[in-house]
């Protein structure tokens, strides 16, 4: 396939943001003045800490012994036969707590400890990030407060029960639509009130600088392992393509990270189209969005003509987000990665197919990445890695529905 990457761009700048957190035109740190000291403390310290030997030892040790890394790179034989190509699944579904999110929360809680913080806050929509945060807080014996929209608490009650069993305090956000946006506002209010003892764990490659870069670096273990594992299995670290689903974009950032500068590797993100990109019920941010500021960074955003954020929809709670991380906005803008839309229906079919062909029930989010295989014309010499971001146990209410 011919590449049409914008040659004017230095590919390294799409992986490493500049000093102000910009990837090309996207990123930055647009925060209220009262939050500036918190974000600035993090910005000035994060790199020195996460690159230190002490941090790396502890982080890699916990990823190995607690989270179960490295996750396998599995050659999916029957799925490969079906598509006439060579398909490998990066098995993040086998991580502790069932998805890649734990890579990030382990890293951020260690960072919080290095910064001398004693209290952790987070916001959660579907509850998956809340559970991953409550898990590491229990592990480290730290106080944990998770803000969650009151409506989301009703819709995702099993995750509320999990967080509480792990010792977290779950606080309902009762303003607005009582969903993720309102929970985020509450978390920001809390952080402003606790500037010295509290770290805010953001769950994806979103938010003000340095969060997108911090989370991408913590998740980059995914592609670091992929390179090594592909070399063992195929004789080359370099695949034809890497496919991942994109909500905020953290599993995709982790899966792409060490390939961004390898121009021959095609990168594909799957966005949730919901009932269809133009149905009015969708979360296809890159397809429909325009530049705008959400949660402290300038990125692509689904918004009305007067800049109001459009309520997103997807069958998959983890992809139901109106924005996307600034790294992905830049990768799309410069043509380094392509983002395709996948409907609820296509994702459901891909999930059922993987269950029957490989005996693996994927998360609804990950099924969006698998559905891309229907669209992309890979051949029998190609090597394609799909990031299987999580497992589908949490989605049986949808899969099992008649």
Ligand X SMILES: *Cc1c(COP(=O)(O)O)cnc(C)c1O
70 SS3 class: coil
The tokens 């950032």 sit on which residue? 253
Site for ligand X in 185-214 (CB under 6 A): 204
For residues 338 and 267, the answer to whether their CB atoms sit within 8 Å is yes
For residues 255 and 242, the answer to whether their CB atoms sit within 8 Å is yes
Is residue 220 part of the contact set for ligand X (CB under 6 A)?
no
User: Among 58-66, 177-185, 285-293, 363-371, which window interacts with ligand X (CB under 6 A)?
Assistant: 363-371
Looking at the DSSP assignment, which residues form a beta bridge with residue 266? 241
Is residue 303 part of the contact set for ligand X (CB under 6 A)?
no
27 SS3 class: strand
Helix residue ranges, H only, 34-122? 36-50, 53-65, 77-83, 101-114
If the CB atoms of residues 79 and 361 are measured against ligand X, the closer one turns out to be: 361
Q: CA end-to-end span of the chain, whole Å?
A: 41
Q: Minimum distance between the CB of residue 354 and ligand X, rounded to whole angstroms?
A: 14
Known catalytic residue: 123? yes
Known catalytic residue: 101? yes
The tokens 């930055």 sit on which residue? 28
58 SS3 class: helix
Known catalytic residue: 261? no
For residues 168 and 137, the answer to whether their CB atoms sit within 8 Å is yes
Q: Report residue 143: phi and psi, to 5°.
A: -65, 140
Q: Of the listed 186, 220, 389, 394, which one is catalytic?
A: 389
How are beta strands 297-301 and 290-294 bridged, if at all? Answer: antiparallel
Write out the two tokens for 377.
């014309």
**Of the candidates 21, 239, 248, 296, which one interacts with ligand X according to CB under 6 A?**
248
Helix residue ranges, H only, 194-284? 211-219, 221-234, 250-256
**Of the candidates 97, 178, 229, 251, which one interacts with ligand X according to CB under 6 A?**
251
Task: Provide the edge-to-edge strand list for the sheet that holds 26-27.
Answer: 22-23, 26-27, 297-301, 290-294
Q: Minimum distance between the CB of residue 269 and ligand X, rounded to whole angstroms?
A: 9
Does the CA dihedral 307-16-328-97 come out positive or negative? negative
53: number of CA atoms within 13 Å, CB side? 0
For residues 359 and 216, the answer to whether their CB atoms sit within 8 Å is no
If the CB atoms of residues 294 and 363 are measured against ligand X, the closer one turns out to be: 363
Is residue 318 part of the contact set for ligand X (CB under 6 A)?
yes
Q: Minimum distance between the CB of residue 172 and ligand X, rounded to whole angstroms?
A: 21
User: Among 193-201, 246-254, 258-266, 288-296, which window interacts with ligand X (CB under 6 A)?
Assistant: 246-254
Q: Minimum distance between the CB of residue 64 and ligand X, rounded to whole angstroms?
A: 21
**Of the candidates 14, 201, 315, 363, which one interacts with ligand X according to CB under 6 A?**
363
Is residue 250 part of the contact set for ligand X (CB under 6 A)?
yes
Is residue 249 part of the contact set for ligand X (CB under 6 A)?
yes
CA distance 98 to 156: 16
Is residue 289 part of the contact set for ligand X (CB under 6 A)?
no
Is residue 247 part of the contact set for ligand X (CB under 6 A)?
yes
Does the CA dihedral 356-360-366-369 come out positive or negative? negative
Q: Of the listed 90, 101, 117, 394, which one is catalytic?
A: 101
User: Among 139-147, 163-171, 190-198, 361-369, which window interacts with ligand X (CB under 6 A)?
Assistant: 361-369
Q: Minimum distance between the CB of residue 202 and ligand X, rounded to whole angstroms?
A: 10
How many residues touch ligand X (CB under 6 A)? Answer: 18
Q: Of the listed 92, 123, 186, 225, which one is catalytic?
A: 123
The residue whose Cβ lies closest to ligand X is 390
User: Among 38-46, 83-91, 230-238, 360-368, which window interacts with ligand X (CB under 6 A)?
Assistant: 360-368
Site for ligand X in 66-105 (CB under 6 A): 99, 101
If the CB atoms of residues 86 and 326 are measured against ligand X, the closer one turns out to be: 326
Question: Known catalytic residues?
Answer: 101, 123, 389
- Interacting residues with ligand X (CB under 6 A): 99, 101, 128, 204, 245-251, 318-319, 363, 365-366, 389-390
């Amino acid at each position: 396939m011919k590449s049409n990457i914008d040659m004017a761009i230095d590919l390294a700048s799409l992986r490493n943001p500049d000093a102000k957190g910009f990837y090309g035109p996207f990123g930055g740190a647009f925060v209220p003045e009262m939050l500036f000291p918190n974000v600035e403390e993090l910005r000035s310290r994060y790199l020195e800490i996460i690159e230190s030997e002490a941090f790396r030892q502890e982080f890699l040790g916990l990823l190995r012994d607690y989270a179960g890394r490295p996750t396998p790179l599995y050659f999916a034989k029957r799925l490969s036969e079906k598509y006439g190509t060579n398909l490998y699944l990066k098995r993040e579904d086998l991580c502790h707590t069932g998805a890649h999110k734990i890579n990030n929360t382990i890293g951020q809680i260690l960072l919080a400890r290095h910064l001398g913080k004693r209290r952790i806050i987070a916001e959660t929509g579907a509850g998956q990030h809340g559970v991953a945060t409550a898990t590491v807080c229990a592990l480290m014996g730290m106080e944990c407060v998770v803000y969650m929209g009151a409506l989301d608490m009703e819709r995702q009650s099993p995750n509320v029960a999990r967080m509480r069993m792990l010792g977290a305090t779950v606080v309902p956000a009762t303003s607005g639509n009582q969903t993720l946006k309102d929970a985020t506002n509450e978390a920001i209010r809390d952080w402003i009130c606790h500037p010295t003892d509290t770290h805010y764990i953001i769950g994806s490659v979103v938010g003000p600088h340095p969060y997108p870069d911090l989370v991408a670096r913590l998740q980059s273990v995914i592609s670091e392992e992929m390179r090594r594992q592909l070399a063992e299995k195929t004789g080359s670290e370099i695949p034809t393509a890497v496919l991942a689903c994109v909500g905020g974009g953290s599993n995709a950032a982790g899966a792409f990270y060490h390939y961004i500068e390898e121009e021959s590797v095609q990168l594909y993100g799957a966005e949730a189209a919901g009932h269809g990109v133009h149905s009015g019920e969708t979360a296809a941010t890159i397809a429909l969005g325009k530049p705008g500021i959400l949660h402290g960074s300038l990125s692509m955003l689904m918004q009305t003509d007067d800049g109001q954020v459009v309520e997103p929809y997807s069958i998959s709670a983890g992809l139901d987000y109106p924005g996307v991380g600034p790294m992905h906005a830049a990768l799309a803008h410069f043509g380094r990665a392509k983002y395709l839309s996948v409907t609820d229906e296509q994702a459901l079919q891909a999930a059922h197919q993987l269950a029957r062909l490989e005996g693996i029930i994927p998360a609804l989010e990950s099924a969006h990445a698998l559905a891309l295989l229907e669209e992309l014309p890979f051949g029998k010499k190609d090597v394609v890695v799909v990031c299987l971001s999580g497992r589908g146990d949490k989605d049986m209410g949808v899969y099992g529905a008649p």
